[in-house]
Structure 1
């Protein structure tokens, strides 16, 4: 390319880069706001809740067995 054309292309790239960066920043901000409004949880939090639920179910099963044992003792 000619020096004039090279400088024109460089100037054009600079002018295009600024709106692109602004647009990307704005899109990221909008997406972050949308995700926050959706009230999403992280995978780690979901995993913690699954473990807590499993433990609660195990405890409930143990209590159910205890209750059945006590009921059978009462019936004797």
Structure 2
């Protein structure tokens, strides 16, 4: 059960890291120069952009998961 959750999380991280959508930033300023509150879409956009910058670490995590799969599931 735990291994399936880890693999599912790894696959979701991979999918988020390789998305090639054009993620445009919304306008940060509201009326009269006031900063608008961040919406859910802005938060998702920031998360996906941070995943893009961490591709090296995600690749290392993938290698680690493959190693664990070979060690624990190769009985």
Bin for the TM-score computed over the shorter chain: under 0.3
Relative contact order higher in (CA < 8 Å, ≥ 6 apart): 2
Higher helix content, 1 or 2:
1
So what's the TM-score if we normalise by structure 1? Answer: 0.27
